Amino acid sequence: MKITKFKIATLLHVIVLITTCGCTKKEEEVNNLPGEYANGVFVINEGTFGSGSGSISFLDVVSDTIYNDVFQKKNGFPLGSIVQSINIIGNNGYIVVNNANKIEVVDIKNFSSIGTISGLANPRYIKSVNASKAYVTQWGSDGMTGAVKVIDLNTNTITSTISVGSGAESMLLVGNSMYVACSGGYSSDSSVYVINTTTDVVSDVLEVGANPNDLVSLDNQSIFVMCSGRWKFDYSELEAYGSLVKINASDNTFTKLFELSDLYAQPGSLTGNNGYLYFNFNGDVYKQSAASTTLDNTKIIHRDFYGLGIDPVSNKIYGADAGNFSQAGKVLRYDLSGTVIDSFTVAVSPNGFYFNTK
Amino acid sequence: MHRFKWLFLHIGLCVCVTHVFAQNKDLDTLMHIPEITIVGHNNEVVEIGSKVEQIDTLTKAMYDQQMLSDLLSAQSSVFIKNYTIGNLATPSFRGFNMNQTAILWNGLSITSPLYGGFDLSLLPNALVDDVSLQYGGATSLWGSGAIGGTIHLSNRLNFDKGGHMKASIQHGSFGSNTQGFEVLASGKHAVSQTKFFNRNNRNNFKFYNTAQKGKPLDTMEHASVDNIGLVQNISFKIKQHHILNACVWLQSNDREVPASLTSKLSEATQRDDIKRFTFSWNYEKNKNAFTLRTAYFDERLIYKDPALSLNDTSKALTTIVQAEYLKKFTECVKLFLGANYTFQKGKADNFTFDPIQENKALFGTFKLKNKKSSIISALSVRKAFVSNNENPFTASFGLELWPLHTVRLRGNVSKNYRLPTFNDLYWKQGGNPNLKPESGISEEVGLGYYKYGKVLSVQTEVVALTNQVDNWILWVPDASGIWKPMNAQYVWSRGVEFDFKTLLVHNKWKYQLGYHVQNIQTTIEKVTSADPSTLHKQMIYTPVNKMFASLGITYNYSTVQLVYNYVGERFMNMDNSLSADPYSTMDIKFNQIIYTKRFDLNAYFLINNITNVSYEIISYYPVPMSSYQMGLNITFKIKNN
């Protein structure tokens, strides 16, 4: 049979059509959202820098069901780059998005977007002072000019700025005093600022230790500060060890309880429950009596977590394993002795929890 | 009936929306496009058993006033990871990334020793004469990094060709204006070529903001780019068999660096200053050819971010001395030997000292073929001696068989490596001086059919490939949260590619039809961590499926070309839990050439993305919807007396 040029050309075009049609679009995922956001745990997933993969997961603790990326699924747009924290004030959820310089405000009943607080520079955490006022810590655009922004919760606008140390990080409210840990940001600091929440004026500055990060109080009187330590300029080793410091909130005196003497490891993720503190250090979770003045050295979990939390109702320990920070992380639950209970896959770089349990 | 056949053929061509795939010079020659030659050092052996794709001169001319990233993303099968137009654009050959790609200028590597890559958005096409792409591993030929593929750039000079003066202008969307000129004077004993390029692009395009509520129409901000560059190339035939060549490439680039839509508005800027100098002496007589090359590359990057009070400068200095000897025993037996000495020095604020690396290498290729050229083979070896790392030995073997006049069976197997970069080894926070080189094995076979006729020409090939890389360098956080590079993964790339190209000639009409499709999986096959969630998952931002097709119709010297590109799903994270949607675009190009005795005039008009698709190559980095470029090249000819 003689094969004509026409037949050859036709055959080639058929091949083109067949192979072109082989490139089909993947079927989209079906949105899956919880009915309500009570009785659950919010997991903060930072996402990778600039990718828009930062998200909030919600774990329904009644059905033990995990719902990932609830904000984008509900609202149709991403939270933004580096989701740092979430807090619930009144009926609203406030999600702090660090590198996007904003706080997304949602109705906590259904997670629908109701506004954005802008005008911030590298915000980190939001904490309510009262029903109409909140403080937001921020590092500043240069990562070193720490400040606390005062927010009018009725209008979601910034009303004033309180200058504090570098890398303003977590906050703790005791009476009329807001304690602000200044973690150093892109430089270094060693202070905890105390702000009078009535006047919005700094009332005290406590030089507690190298780069304080986390603040925890179990009795509304003693405040435990986890200082992460400080690297040498070339990052070859730590020049200041991490340490745990205790502040007496009645007179703002403080004592360094102990140092964590390792040249290459920094402590973090301090949390507390029923007379005990829990923190990460060098690939282990440590349990520390709040009454001890020295390191108990009790390791209950051998795993490196990017965030820790304890459910105040169930008393379960929550650990956020961020893996290599570029894939979906995991949340593992443990009892207080460190025995693993179960685990859930969340999203990229989980860094902490907010317990909305009753 | 004959008329209906042609009608059907025309309709079929238009429906298929295909592409002129300028892979083979034979078809271009049929189109009366000036013949192309690859210019590199040991080109005699480079192609054996490997897939080589060459950008034809007409296509390149239409993109001369744009950057290499624009050309390759539209006219090649390489996936270009482009963070919006004018900004960082890196190549991905067969699922690998920029670190596994070598980029060569006149046969010498211009890959940055700092980060092991090359930004294709900084390379004006007008400043080089030829662009070709070699697929698969070839470190035995080109040294570290040529694992996924190699981009060959070259500036070539020919003696006794007369001369010309060429002026080019282009205007396009988003405040894009380009000017260029080229002067060539080619005599019997001396030839000089000067190329100049200047481009200003505001990049203030409209896009749908996918990071905002309701995806509102937005305008790109802080994305302008300015490039200016000059290449001076000069050769002297000092004696009958002796040629001296000197080439200078100077370029400066200023650009605003936009952020992801999910981040705050960027204030960052980047300046890239590039100085490249090469000098060579070539002696060729009878069956012997000897070449001595030297090169000095000075590349500086100044990154400023007022918001972060950042003003970082990094420098990379490279000195190369390379000697090559080619012995043609007969037309069928050739031996190529070479020695390379490369000295590289880095300087950056994120290093605690100025790192240096000395890399000495001996390499050679033995090429053998039969008199009919129906069996061609080449064996290449390379042994490197690296001052601050291991001393890798690599080899490759390529074979081409022509069992029939129209059928080619080819294959290539190569052992490859990539040295860690200065950033991998010496970055202040996390650098790991104990890293091993990445190493791997690349194999491919191709079966092709080639038929050239006066009316219909066909060229088609199917390729199966596999490429495995061990000790893949990956930055991962340690227990203290500090990111450090580790030899963490074993990566396997495998798949198939299919290409074809046809040319139909009917009186003064010519129809070119080109098509490429690939399905290549590149997965992580071994991880060091206990978490298996990345195991067998596709590498991030490397599409498994890619296709492009085009249709070109020429009447005399008027051409219209439709180009269709499809890029499949790309995964945004290593466990493939997040992905970016596939996208497809269609471009149309019009070209009119007027030849006269005194001058040639080439006018063109390009409309990119004619269907006005809103898409993102990298998630939350927008690229323009429809845009246009129109340009004019006029070349005044100077005859040689």
Give residue A23's pLDDT: 38
Pick left, alpha or beta for residue A39 (phi over 0 → left; psi -120 to 50 → alpha; otherwise beta).
Answer: left
pLDDT average per 10 residues of sequence, chain A (358 residues): 47 46 36 85 91 90 94 94 95 96 96 96 97 96 94 97 97 97 95 98 97 96 96 88 97 96 93 95 95 96 94 96 87 95 94 89
Closest chain B residue to the Cα of A71, Cα to Cα = B213
Q: Where are the alpha helices (DSSP H) in chain A?
A: 5-21, 70-75
Question: CB A186 to CB B531 under 8 A?
Answer: no
Contacts of A51 in chain B (CB under 8 A): 260, 262, 572-573, 578, 619-620
Interchain CB distance below 8 Å, A6 and B568? no
Task: Quote the DSSP letter at residue B139.
Answer: H
Q: Strand, helix or coil at B249?
A: strand
Tokens 């993305």, residue located: B609
Q: Which residues of A touch B481 (CB under 8 A)?
A: 266, 268, 306
Highest mean pLDDT among A195-204, B81-90, B299-308: A195-204
Q: Is the pLDDT of residue B447 over 50?
A: yes
DSSP calls for B373-390: SSEEEEEEEEEEEETTS-
Residue B32 has pLDDT above 70, yes or no: no
For the cut 70, the answer to whether the pLDDT of residue B272 exceeds it is: yes
| pLDDT value, residue B641 | 57
CB spacing of A5 vs B456 below 8 angstroms: yes
Judge: B308–A143 Cβ closer than 8 Å, yes or no. yes
Comparing A134-138, B9-13, B278-282, the range with the smallest average pLDDT is B9-13
pLDDT at A1: 42
- pLDDT score, position B636: 96
Rounded Cα distance between B588 and B294, Å, is: 42
Q: Name the residue facing B549 among A16, A264, A325 (closest C-beta).
A: A16
Reported as a single tens digit per residue, the pLDDT across B338-349 is: 999 999 999 998
Contact (CB<8Å) B211/A52: yes
At B200, list the tokens. 């200003």
- pLDDT tens digits for range B161-181: 999 999 999 999 999 999 999
Tell me the chain A residues in contact with residue B575 when contact means C-beta distances shorter than 8 Å.
Answer: 327-328
Question: What are the pLDDT digits (tens) for B382-430?
Answer: 999 999 788 999 999 999 999 999 999 999 999 999 999 999 999 988 8
Per-residue pLDDT at A229: 96
Long-range contacts of A19-24, Cβ-Cβ distance < 8 Å, separation of 24 or more: A19/B498, A19/B515, A19/B517, A19/B547, A20/B16, A20/B517, A20/B547, A20/B549, A20/B566, A22/B517, A22/B545, A23/B517, A23/B545, A23/B547, A23/B566, A23/B568, A23/B582
* Residue type for position B314: S
Instruction: Report the alpha-carbon distance of residue A22 to residue A16 in Å, rounded.
Output: 10
Quote the minimal CA–CA distance from B102 to chain A in Å. 26
Query: Which of A13, A50, A324 lies at the smallest CB-CB distance from B263?
Result: A50
* pLDDT number for residue A358: 61
CB < 8 Å from B in window 174-193 of A:
186
Output the CA torsion A117→A123→A129→A130 (10° steps): 20
Q: Which of residues 254 through 273 in chain A touch B, CB cutoff 8 A?
A: 264-266, 268
**What is the mean predicted confidence (pLDDT) over B101-125?**
93
Q: Is A11 on the interface with B (CB under 8 A)?
A: no
Q: What's the pTM?
A: 0.86
Q: Which residue has the higher pLDDT, B453 or B29?
A: B453
Please state, for a pLDDT cut of 70, what percent of chain B lies above it: 91
Is B574 within 8 Å of A5 when comparing Cβ atoms? no
Is the CB of B573 less than 8 angstroms away from the CB of A53?
A: yes
CA distance B31 to chain A (A): 18
A20 with B429: Cβ contact below 8 A: no
Does the distance separating the beta carbons of A81 and B213 come in below 8 Å?
no
Nearest to B394 by CA among B427, B437, B354, B355: B437
pLDDT, residue B21, reads 30
Nearest residue, CB atoms, A53 vs list B210, B569, B572: B572
- Residues A286-307: pLDDT tens digits? 999 999 999 999 999 999 899 9
pLDDT in tens, B597-608: 999 999 999 999
DSSP H or E stretch at residue B62 = helix B57-62
Question: In this complex, which of B12, B309, B549 lies closest to A10 when CB atoms are compared?
Answer: B12
Confidence of residue B203 (pLDDT cuts 50, 70, 90): very high
Collect all residues of chain B within an 8 Å Cβ-Cβ radius of residue A77: 210-215
Q: Select from A116, A228, A235, A327 the residue whose CB has the most chain B CBs within 10 Å, as the one to mutate to test that interface.
A: A327
Q: Which of B264, B307, B577 comes nearest A100 by C-beta? A: B264
Number of Cα atoms under 13 Å in the Cβ half of residue B51: 28
Contact A12 B458 (CB under 8 A): yes
Contact A23 B566 (CB under 8 A): yes
Min Cα separation B95/chain A (Å): 17
CB-based contact A326 B578, cutoff 8 Å: no
Q: Report CB contact under 8 Å: B479, A9.
A: no
What is the structure's pLDDT at A29? 36
Give residue A68's identity as a one-letter amino acid code: N
Between chains, do B429 and A235 touch, taking CB under 8 Å as contact? Answer: yes
pLDDT at residue number B549:
93
Name the more confident of A239 and B41.
Answer: A239
**How much is the pLDDT for B141?**
83
Reduced to 3 states (helix: H, G, I; strand: E, B; else coil), residue B97 is coil
Chain A residue with Cα closest to B502:
A9
Residues of A within 8 A of B453 (CB-CB) are: 5
Q: Using a CB–CB cutoff of 8 Å, tell me whether A170 touches chain B.
A: no
Confidence of residue B573 (pLDDT cuts 50, 70, 90): confident
pLDDT at residue B278 is higher than 90: yes
Contact check, Cβ <8 Å, A51/B429: no
For residue A283, the chain B residues in CB contact (below 8 A) are 479
- Tell me the sheet residues that pair with A115: A105
A211 to chain B, closest Cα gap in Å: 15
The pLDDT value given to residue B394: 93
Q: How close is the nearest chain A Cα to the Cα of B585, in Å? A: 14
Residues 108-137 of A with CB under 8 A from B: 113
Q: Return mean pLDDT, chain B.
A: 88
**CA B560/CA B587 separation, integer angstroms:** 11
Q: Which two tokens stand for residue B326?
A: 């080619």
Tell me, yes or no, if A72 comes closer than 8 A to chain B by beta carbon. no
Distance (Å, rounded) from C-alpha A12 to C-alpha A32?
A: 45
**Residue B453's closest chain A neighbor by CA?**
A5
Four-CA torsion B250, B255, B257, B258, nearest 10 degrees? -140
Residue contact A100–B263, C-beta within 8 A: yes
d(CA B403, CA A286): 72
pLDDT surpasses 90 at B185? yes
In this prediction, does ipTM exceed 0.90?
no
CB pairs under 8 A between A and B: 166
